[in-house]
Structure 1
Amino acid sequence: MADIDEDTSPLIQSVEVQESDEEEASEGEGTVKEQGNIKAVLTPSNNNRRKTTSDFPFSVEDRTASVSVNIPARPPRHHVTRPPPSKHHRRARWIVGILIILILLGLVAVAIALVVTATAPGETWYRKSVIYQCYPQSFQDSDGDGFGDLEGIRSRISYFKELGIRGVWLNPIYPSPKRDNGYDISNYTDIDPVYGNIEIFKRLLAELHENDIHLILDFVPNHTSDEHPWFKESKASKTNSKRDWYVWADGVAPGYPPNNWLSVFGNSSWSYDETTDQWYYHQFSSYQPDLNYSNPQVKQVMEDVLKFWLDLGVDGFRVDAVEFLLEDPQLQNETLNPLFNESECSSPPCYDSLVHNLTTNYPGIHELCRDWRKLVNGYSIQDRSEKILIGEIYDNIETVMTYYGNSSNEFTFPFNFFLLVNSDWSGVRINCIVKSWLDRMPGGATANWVLGNHDNSRIATKAGLFRARALLLLLLTLPGTPVTYYGDEILMTDVYVPLDKRNDTFEGRDSERTPMQWNTSNHSGFTFPNAEPWLPLATNYSLYNVEVEKDNSTSMLSLYKKLLQLHSTEAAFYEGEYMCLDATKDLLVYLRWKESDANYKEYYIIVINFSDQDTNTKISIDFANTELVFSTYLDRSNVSLKSISLRKGEGVIIRGYLSDTCNKADLSSSASPSCSAGPCL
């Protein structure tokens, strides 16, 4: 006999025991519940009387028995009428609501701040710094083989620190046959044994960072050496998996290249390969075959190269030969240049005889640069210090400007070579170059200025020793990032290199690449006294070297240090305004200042005499409390704006104050019409 628990009995109105094997209840009888061979049909009921076991006189003995149970209906709910909230309660609710909204807004603000922090590129260190180009082969030899190396550079970190340098750019240090001094690379992810090895590189990088100095490497993506394993595979057969990592084509006829394209170094930009009976393309020499960026695999492998060095911690790249990265895939002939002067071509065919619209600045290059920028930006966010990309593009100013991209989404800056290749040192010309760059530069972008590099004659040779100080003053007081070439800070000049000592067989660039002059000892301290330097030193190294100039308060080196300190500490120079006041054949006068809310503004007046004659000028603006900061000769203590006398190649920096009542328009009205001359680029 089964009993029904009292705790469940109130739910049961009636129980009907069926001897049937049927499992379905008739429609409307209730809900069927089944356990084992017992089936209960639960039927709702309005009778809420509590039941006990005595109300159910039956026993459950048959295994097929079915139990029908009626469930009482749920009693109706009782609605409770609440009193309306009091005035105090309403006010409390309102206050709590406002607090919740404020808290939510605060959380949103914090979230936005975190996102901005997480995506910000970090410190833009290069805005306050000079970037110092260090030619590794010529900077310091540490082992007596006559070649500069990484250990040598590491031993000179204190020199960078003393100068105030925060960015060092190294020319290629990768394994290379050195037929183009390292710009013919045979392995992108290693160090040439001449310079050291990866472990030495890591030590150098770590010590530079310990001294708050950033390291920029040379990235050469346009071409490899013909001794690179990739090219060796590519030329092995037409079916090799790396065949289209380079540009190959059939000739138009036996013995004739695919088209009329010319190499920058002269002659055809195609070389014939007998093994596969095809021609390969090279924008430079025949031992520098161009990579094919139409191939996604090439794009990826070169991104991997960037990642390799970024993972080690480098701070950016100078990107070589950017305008040559892509070319017309149809390989059409280029047209003749109607402006070409044949008399200027000593050994035809000359590169400038064609219009290079199919082999330079070809569509797709900007997309490639944006991809690299995106990759580098990721490391900027990760390391909280901006990684920079500098592009080498020799072209007209409109084309060069496009490589900033939109909001600098390509290069941090493309190199500004217009002062570097200039030969007219008049104030009018120089101001026009400066104004042309600043006026065309995208908003928010960083300007840059270059007076020397490894491909051009040294500034002290090209412009003259007497003018070098004036040009250094210009370089370090213009808005933006100055880039200086090793040795220019001590007035190094071009060196004659005998034919049997020459390394650069194409353009004779050895003369501006000679060893750094450190002291008066044999080989000027570049290498061991009994060693043979890879290139000869200047004969005047005993006069122009670091040791001698460091102890001379009026030397070029002392001027370099003073100017760099001013540039890196005064906002008026590293991010302030520029305004030309006067530009003549001999003189350039301009203002530098930083906008502020102060009642009086601090201005710097720069006056430079580029001529080889003494001259006089005056400033008509009524500045108060003027003082001479220094002269490029570093030997005078005062100057009068009413009569400024300058020696040949001399420049001065004068600090003065101007009331806010004299605005920018008033200053502009004081400027000479010659300041608006142009265009010149």
Structure 2
Amino acid sequence: MRKKILLLSCLIIVLLAASACKKADVNQNPSELNQDESQKEKEENDDEGTPEVSQDETKAVIPYDYVQNLNIIDDNYRNFYEIFVYSFYDSNGDGIGDINGVISKLDYINDGNDATDSDLGFNGIWLMPIMPSTTYHKYDVTDYYNIDPQYGTLEDFKNLVSECHKRGIHLIIDFVFNHTSAKHPWFLEAVSYLESLKEGEEPDLEKCPYVGYYHFTKDYNGSKTYYKAGTSNWYYEGVFWDQMPDLALENENVRKEIEDIAKYWLDLGVDGFRLDAAKEYFSGEKERNIEVLKWFSDYVKSVKEDADIVAEVWDEEGTIAAYYESGIPSLFNFPLSQHNGLITNTARKLGTSSGKNFAKTLLRLDEKYKEGNPKYIDAPFISNHDTTRISAQCVNDEDQMKMSAGMLLTMNGSPYVYYGEEIGMNSKGTKDENKRLPMQWSATDTTGITTPPANADSVEQKFPPVDEQMKDPLSLYNYYKRAVRIRNENPEIARGDMSVIEELCTKDISAIKKVYQGSEIVILYNINTESANILLKDAGLTELNIRGYLSVDGNAVTMSDGVVSMPKYSIVILK
């Protein structure tokens, strides 16, 4: 019995001691606990030789410690924001966006103050057509010397130009001269004259020079791109629509009209032009189209030497390279865009695509375009007003959308971002109206939100509006903002001569070096759903530091002893 009591007493003492130890652990300073865990993690990493990025890390945002001073160069390498004025912001309550609405939202795009971080940081704006028109999209111009009344007045536009320039923003406008509206005075006068001709009488350009402004013919062969000119026996060409008659760009009088129009807008202060449908100036006649671009570019440069000019040549890389022989500064890089382009095609296949292929394709395109124009400025983009939005391309996968944006905004040249892409606005189907829906500023405050274009469908938006995303550090909006900031901190990203770092490229890792005026950066892309460690010594790289990084989930890119540890879907700039 005495032995049993002694044994029981010992057991009680042990239990009390254990309880005290447990209580002491619970009351331990949390910082000491973190230190213990950190030390344990460090020892484990030391044992393994290279650091690991945990896939179980907290969703809390890791402090970003790599903000650099802005280093924005005042040249034609820009970060452009494309605006469809009709759907952007309504300043007067009529349901239609307008010029004053754009002005009221300039601080959202760029407030002109380098000391703030509340704006997106874009320093270029492309306005879709703003001239008087009969349609909502305004690609059928009725007056090349004015602003569509739905959008405002010339005074409003002059104010916009001034406010943009105060903020260091280049403003370019859509210049549509492949065709006019069928309601344009030139066309109306030409058709009226043709209707007045007697049977067998031929047009006299002395009496009506406007007949020579368009492609009129009596020899109608059943072509679907030719339409009857009023009640006359003549037909006119309209490649896109019967309400968009094609201009005869071989006509010297037409060219003089276009030159006068260009000078008018340049004198008003615009920084350049986006040229619509350059491949259709003479449909199927590449050499003639190239000549038109050369003529227009040469003229504009004679008026404003540093004018921004970017043209739409919707085709494959070989054709785009040929059009660069015109000397035009920029052409939209269509092989990078849309659901089957390099950017989202790579992002959508995260974990299975080739990192090396991404880098090598960028280099191949760069070399090919330089053959046409060694001084070209690339115009990469993911989507625009004619294509499905990135959210539809990536089926609303936010990680893929962020990675796509990160790839775009670390490319050479002047990237173009379509309004609303920074918040993941959705599109639906092939209908153009569904690609041009109202900007989603707020779900609770409808001030300034426009009415959808007629015939637009109801399209569900999967991501929050601007005001909500601004508050979320992990939002798509804030990812775009950081990406633009990093670009504005490192001029090598846009301007650097590019090469592929073969030793670091794998199925999942893409590695690119860029050199600008003797300054060298390295850009690494982890195109995978898993973390990765990259040993810089494999490429003989030393003395590099992190200049900035992008990650989809807030996890940090780190570097220790020449090993870069990258979380999933991340990008890092080293210098």
How is 1:308-327 mapped onto 2 (pairs within 5 angstroms)? 308-326=264-282
Give 1:32's aligned residue. Answer: none
**In the superposition, relative to structure 1, how do residues 132 and 246 fare at CA in structure 2: closer, same or farther (>3 Å)?**
same
Give 2:130's aligned residue. Answer: 173
Give 2:69's aligned residue. Answer: none
Instruction: Determine which of 361, 367, 389 is the counterpart of 2:291.
Output: 367
- TM superposition shift of 1:627: 4.9
Q: Report the 3-state secondary structure (helix = DSSP H, G, I; strand = E; otherwise coil) of the residue aligned with 1:402.
A: helix
The higher radius of gyration belongs to: 1
Give 2:494's aligned residue. Answer: 574
Q: Which amino acid is 2:232 matched to?
A: T
Task: Encode CA deviations 1:542-597: one digit per residue, 9 max, x unaligned.
Answer: x4222122222222222212221221231321211333346989624122332566
Q: Which amino acid is 1:221 matched to?
A: F
Q: Which amino acid is 1:258 matched to?
A: N
**In the superposition, relative to structure 1, how do residues 521 and 642 fare at CA in structure 2: closer, same or farther (>3 Å)?**
same
* CA contact 1:553–1:634 (8 Å) conserved in 2: no
- TM superposition shift of 1:632: 2.2
* CA contact 2:312–2:332 (8 Å) conserved in 1: yes
Structure 1 residue 487 corresponds to structure 2 residue 455: no
- TM superposition shift of 1:308: 1.3
Structure 1 residue 400 corresponds to structure 2 residue 320: yes
Q: Which amino acid is 1:242 matched to?
A: Y
* CA contact 1:222–1:321 (8 Å) conserved in 2: yes
Task: Encode CA deviations 1:624-678: one digit per residue, 9 max, x unaligned.
Answer: 455553232262234357574543xx1220425xxxxxxxxxxxxxxxxxxxxxx
Q: Distance in 1 between matches of 2:359 and 2:557?
A: 26
Q: Distance in 2 between matches of 1:451 and 1:463?
A: 11
Instruction: Determine which of 596, 608, 614 is the counterpart of 2:526.
Output: 608
How is 1:280-679 mapped onto 2 (pairs within 5 angstroms)? 280-326=236-282, 359-381=283-305, 386-405=306-325, 409=327, 411-423=328-340, 424-425=345-346, 426-427=353-354, 430-442=358-370, 443-464=374-395, 465=397, 466-495=399-428, 508-523=431-446, 525-527=447-449, 539-540=460-461, 543-581=463-501, 587-594=508-515, 603-609=521-527, 613-614=529-530, 616=532, 618-619=534-535, 620-624=538-542, 627-628=545-546, 629-633=548-552, 635-639=554-558, 642=563, 644=565, 646-647=567-568, 650-655=569-574
**In the superposition, relative to structure 1, how do residues 460 and 430 fare at CA in structure 2: closer, same or farther (>3 Å)?**
farther
* CA contact 2:320–2:369 (8 Å) conserved in 1: no
Task: Encode CA deviations 1:40-80: one digit per residue, 9 max, x unaligned.
Answer: xxxxxxxxxxxxxxxxxxxxxxxxxxxxxxxxxxxxxxxxx
* CA contact 1:140–1:152 (8 Å) conserved in 2: yes
Give 2:221's aligned residue. Answer: 258
Q: Which amino acid is 1:172 matched to?
A: P
How is 1:14-25 mapped onto 2 (pairs within 5 angstroms)? none
Q: Which amino acid is 1:490 matched to?
A: I
Aligned alpha-carbon RMSD (Å): 2.7
How is 1:39-78 mapped onto 2 (pairs within 5 angstroms)? none
Q: Report the 3-state secondary structure (helix = DSSP H, G, I; strand = E; otherwise coil) of the residue aligned with 2:304.
A: helix
Unaligned runs of 5+ in 2: 1-72, 111-118, 195-202, 347-352
**In the superposition, relative to structure 1, how do residues 291 and 366 fare at CA in structure 2: closer, same or farther (>3 Å)?**
same
Q: Distance in 1 between matches of 2:256 and 2:481?
A: 42
* CA contact 1:417–1:450 (8 Å) conserved in 2: yes
Q: Percent identity?
A: 26
Q: Distance in 2 between matches of 1:596 and 1:375?
A: 30
Q: Distance in 1 between matches of 2:226 and 2:391?
A: 38
Runs of 4+ in 1 over 6 A off after TM superposition: none
Give 1:203's aligned residue. Answer: 159
Q: Which amino acid is 2:409 matched to?
A: L
Give 2:84's aligned residue. Answer: 135
**In the superposition, relative to structure 1, how do residues 585 and 569 fare at CA in structure 2: closer, same or farther (>3 Å)?**
closer
**Of 159-168 and 310-319, the range deviating more from structure 2:** 159-168
Q: Report the 3-state secondary structure (helix = DSSP H, G, I; strand = E; otherwise coil) of the residue aligned with 2:193.
A: coil
Q: Report the 3-state secondary structure (helix = DSSP H, G, I; strand = E; otherwise coil) of the residue aligned with 2:510.
A: strand
**In the superposition, relative to structure 1, how do residues 576 and 165 fare at CA in structure 2: closer, same or farther (>3 Å)?**
same
Q: Distance in 1 between matches of 2:81 and 2:524?
A: 24
* CA contact 1:270–1:279 (8 Å) conserved in 2: yes
**In the superposition, relative to structure 1, how do residues 190 and 309 fare at CA in structure 2: closer, same or farther (>3 Å)?**
same
Q: Distance in 1 between matches of 2:517 and 2:74?
A: 21
Q: Distance in 2 between matches of 1:457 and 1:169?
A: 19
* CA contact 1:222–1:320 (8 Å) conserved in 2: yes
How is 1:107-186 mapped onto 2 (pairs within 5 angstroms)? 125-127=75-77, 129-161=78-110, 162-178=119-135, 181-186=137-142
**In the superposition, relative to structure 1, how do residues 586 and 197 fare at CA in structure 2: closer, same or farther (>3 Å)?**
farther
Q: Distance in 2 between matches of 1:160 and 1:154?
A: 10
Q: Distance in 1 between matches of 2:144 and 2:266?
A: 13
- TM superposition shift of 1:537: 7.1
Give 2:70's aligned residue. Answer: none
Q: Report the 3-state secondary structure (helix = DSSP H, G, I; strand = E; otherwise coil) of the residue aligned with 2:335.
A: coil
* CA contact 1:519–1:546 (8 Å) conserved in 2: yes
* CA contact 1:593–1:602 (8 Å) conserved in 2: yes
- TM superposition shift of 1:615: 5.6
**In the superposition, relative to structure 1, how do residues 289 and 588 fare at CA in structure 2: closer, same or farther (>3 Å)?**
farther
Q: Distance in 2 between matches of 1:276 and 1:635?
A: 67
**In the superposition, relative to structure 1, how do residues 573 and 287 fare at CA in structure 2: closer, same or farther (>3 Å)?**
same
- TM superposition shift of 1:224: 0.9
RCO comparison, higher one (Cα < 8 Å, 6+)? 2
